[in-house]
Amino acid sequence: MAAKSKVPDSFDVFIKGLWKENPVFVMLLGMCPVLAVSNSVMNAIAMGLATTFVLVCSSTLVSLLRSFIPKQVRIATYIVIIATFVTIVDYAIQAISLDLYKALGAFISLIVVNCIILGRAEAFASKNTVSKSVLDAVGMGLGFAFALLCLGVVREVLGSGSLLGFQVLPDRFQPWAIMILPPGGFIVLGSWLLLFAWFAEHKQRKNAEGEAARA
Amino acid sequence: MSTAENVQAPVPQVSSFKMIYTLGGVAMVSGFLLVLVFQATEGRIAANKKAAIERAVFQVVPGAEQRRSFQIVDGDVALLPEGEAATGTVFYGGYDASGALLGVALPASSQGYADIVKVLYGYDPNTETVIGMTVLESKETPGLGDKIAKDPRFQENFAALDVKLNEVGDGLANAVVTVKNGAKEHPWEIDGIAGATISSKTVGRAMNASASELLPIIRKNLDVLKAEQ
Amino acid sequence: MPDESLSFIFLNACIINNFVLSMFLGICPFLGVSGKFETASRMGLAVIFVMLVSSSCAYGINHLLVQYDLEFLRLICYIAVIASSVQLVEMFIKKFSPALFRALGIFLPLITTNCAILGLALFQTAKEYSFLQCLVYAVGAGCGFTLALVIMSGLREKLELADVPSVVRGAALTLLLAGILSMAFMGFAGLGGS
């Protein structure tokens, strides 16, 4: 399917979701699940996969049907499509592991109002070919999963001393329970954003100094 | 998708009929997909739920190898066949390999520190004691309140917790109550966890409420529970 | 049907398990709209409205779905109900208070993707509340949302006048503040219990 598109173009579409236009860190979308489900790496990975699945499937379908959907009912149609895939994921997770389902709670169903999915359907999938839409969706989904992992790793290691259930910190380490609780989510996400902003500023300053030196 | 169809998109006049049939068509396909997935996963999900219940029942009724579900409707106990929806409070009987009743697993719940705490506890009708307890659902503080599920010393409370009925048989002779850590004197008291008072009290409260309400009914209907299948 | 008292349900939804600060629902509008007190309070009011309407409709729909054994359609029906209630509330406000409508502006349609509304519908279904309990839960949740938004807007307005380092400005600051607020709200846990 991607044979006709230029390689650099498609790659661009894919890679931007991971970093430059990362849905969580740059576009500040889909924060609710990132904060809620990132208290353990297992939950974070599961949520990332579930969201990516819904994102890819709905973007594909929206892109396939984009010429048939009249403008006036497009949002309603997108929502029906997204809700269908979310329900499918909901039942799939229940069938795979009831424990995981209980851990993720209502946030599986809440994927349907994740602004990332509706946003990509509206902004990209409805205006591009299926292959590009799939790449975009996968990129965005992975970017979202990356954000989930950033938070998940920090919160689980500091909050339980473990990673994916395996003890990684010595027994002497008194876990910072606050990390698993709601405030931890806010503080860790805020800290990551702070870190990225600091890096960006640092880079900007170095570029400015470099230019000033050359001038 | 062909570009010829794309040319139609800028045309502003879209008939209501097209809107309805597009939305309707998508809705129908989605409904069809959902029914498919639902039926495909139904069996697996029911099996998962059954396994989870059995794990909990066998944990609180030590030695049980079989489990039967019952429900309390109108103050009477009735067998609840597999897969049927319950209309009353559901509880479980734990039986050994030969089908003899070892104990009954009953649900209890109460508002905890963060949210409702749900537990399942085992009751031995011969000794009239609680023989085990497991936490089904809890959102208590990790590291503090959630010790009610893991702390071995707290669990020891439930190896032989006295829940004898009073003379009339309509309530507990001595209310189950959680006391401060180390202050347990009577077999119907629960030794609380130091530093997790509220969560420990929640378990005591839940068990007291459940036992006072359910045990009289259970004792009256022991023959239904022991009946041959 | 749980036997929680109505006042407890209200307190629970409003401050003990605040929808924004404890349950992580409605974060997008929380970050976006909490800059000024005006916008925060108006969004909060709109959300209370919509929550009441969606909560009652969701209760009715769930009743129907359970009766006809169609529970797998729950999510689609809920989201349809929410989108419609937002439309309804929008039309209602436009007719009866054009001033309020103009003040709310873009916020009203944005509520459709507010996870707090869908979250409310899903939670009340999971808790199996009666109709009256659902309504109280909805009002409590809306008030809690408004409370969080208004407190944050007050903080942010004050911080506009402070010397905040550039790296932390914007979403990072709001999130860190929210973390501290969330910690403060944890102090309400255990309220209403015995």
Q: What is the pLDDT of residue A164?
A: 84
Cβ contact (<8 Å) for B34 and C194? no
Cβ contact (<8 Å) for C193 and B115? no
User: For residue C62, what are the domain limits?
Assistant: 6-188
In a domain, B184, yes or no: yes
In a domain, B133, yes or no: yes
Residue keyed to tokens 């396994």: B51
A197 versus A172: the higher-pLDDT residue is A197
Give pTM, 2 decimals: 0.83
Among B138, B145, B147, CA closest to B198 = B145
Checking if the pLDDT of B14 tops 70, the result is no
Checking if the pLDDT of B2 tops 50, the result is no
Checking if the pLDDT of B12 tops 60, the result is no
C4 touches chain B (CB under 8 A): yes
In a domain, C193, yes or no: no
Q: What is the pLDDT of residue B1?
A: 41
With bands split at pLDDT 50, 70 and 90, how would you rate the model's confidence at A50? very high
C84 touches chain A (CB under 8 A): no
- pLDDT tens string C12-27: 899 988 999 988 888 8
Alpha helices, H only, chain B = 3-8, 16-60, 147-150, 152-156, 197-220, 222-226
In a domain, C73, yes or no: yes
Say what the ipTM of the complex is. Answer: 0.85
Q: What is the pLDDT of residue C150?
A: 94
Average pLDDT over residues B183-207: 87
Q: What is the pLDDT of residue B220?
A: 86
In a domain, B102, yes or no: yes
Q: What is the pLDDT of residue C193?
A: 59
Q: What is the overall mean pLDDT for chain C?
A: 86
Q: Minimal Cα–Cα distance from A6 to chain C, Å?
A: 35
Q: Minimal Cα–Cα distance from A168 to chain C, Å?
A: 26
B183 versus A153: the higher-pLDDT residue is A153
In a domain, B35, yes or no: no
Checking if the pLDDT of A1 tops 50, the result is no
Checking if the pLDDT of B129 tops 50, the result is yes
Cβ contact (<8 Å) for B33 and A65? no
A169 versus A44: the higher-pLDDT residue is A44
In a domain, B174, yes or no: yes
Q: What is the pLDDT of residue C120?
A: 92
Checking if the pLDDT of B144 tops 80, the result is no
Q: What is the pLDDT of residue A8?
A: 53
Q: What is the overall mean pLDDT for chain B?
A: 84
Checking if the pLDDT of A215 tops 90, the result is no
In a domain, C141, yes or no: yes
**Pick among C5, C72, C183 to test the B interface (most B CBs inside 10 A):** C72
C179 touches chain A (CB under 8 A): yes
User: For residue B176, what are the domain limits?
Assistant: 43-226
Q: What is the pLDDT of residue B49?
A: 87
In a domain, C157, yes or no: yes
In a domain, C1, yes or no: no
In a domain, C194, yes or no: no
- pLDDT tens string B101-121: 889 999 998 888 777 888 999
| Alpha-carbon span A135 to B41, nearest angstrom | 29
- pLDDT tens string C138-177: 999 999 999 999 999 999 999 988 888 888 888 899 999 9
Touching C (3+ Cβ pairs <8 A), the chains are A, B
Q: What is the pLDDT of residue C55?
A: 93
Checking if the pLDDT of C52 tops 50, the result is yes
Cβ contact (<8 Å) for C193 and B198? yes
**Closest chain B residue to A84, measured at CA:** B30
Touching B (3+ Cβ pairs <8 A), the chains are A, C
Which among A113, A190, A201 has the least Cβ separation from residue C176?
Answer: A190
Cβ contact (<8 Å) for B41 and A71? no
Let me know: does B119 contact B207? Beta carbons within 8 Å. Answer: yes
C194 touches chain B (CB under 8 A): yes
Among C87, C75, C62, CA closest to B37 = C75
What are the structure tokens assigned to B21, written together? 């049939």
Give the torsion sign (CA, C60, C64, C65, C67): positive
In a domain, B26, yes or no: no
Query: Which residues on adjacent β-strands are paired with residue B178?
Result: B190
Total beta-carbon pairs less than 8 A apart between chain B and chain C: 26
Which among B19, B41, B48 has the least Cβ separation from residue A72?
Answer: B19
Domain count, chain C: 1
Checking if the pLDDT of A83 tops 60, the result is yes
Which contacts (CB < 8 Å, 24+ apart) does range C132-135 have? C132/C6, C133/C1, C133/C2, C133/C4, C133/C6, C133/C9, C134/C55, C134/C56, C134/C58, C134/C59, C135/C52, C135/C55, C135/C56
**Closest chain C residue to B27, measured at CA:** C76
> Domain boundaries in chain A?
7-214
- pLDDT tens string B26-48: 888 888 998 999 899 988 888 88
Amino acid of residue B156: E
Q: What is the pLDDT of residue C59?
A: 94
With bands split at pLDDT 50, 70 and 90, how would you rate the model's confidence at B169? confident
C164 touches chain A (CB under 8 A): no
The percentage of residues in chain B with a pLDDT greater than 90, rounded to a whole number, is 7
In a domain, B193, yes or no: yes
Domain count, chain B: 1
C189 touches chain A (CB under 8 A): no
Which contacts (CB < 8 Å, 24+ apart) does range A64-69 have? A64/A130, A64/B1, A65/B26, A66/A125, A66/A126, A66/A127, A66/B1, A67/B1, A67/B5, A67/B6, A67/B8, A67/B9, A68/B5, A68/B22, A69/A126, A69/B22, A69/B26
With bands split at pLDDT 50, 70 and 90, how would you rate the model's confidence at C2? low
Q: What is the pLDDT of residue A89?
A: 93
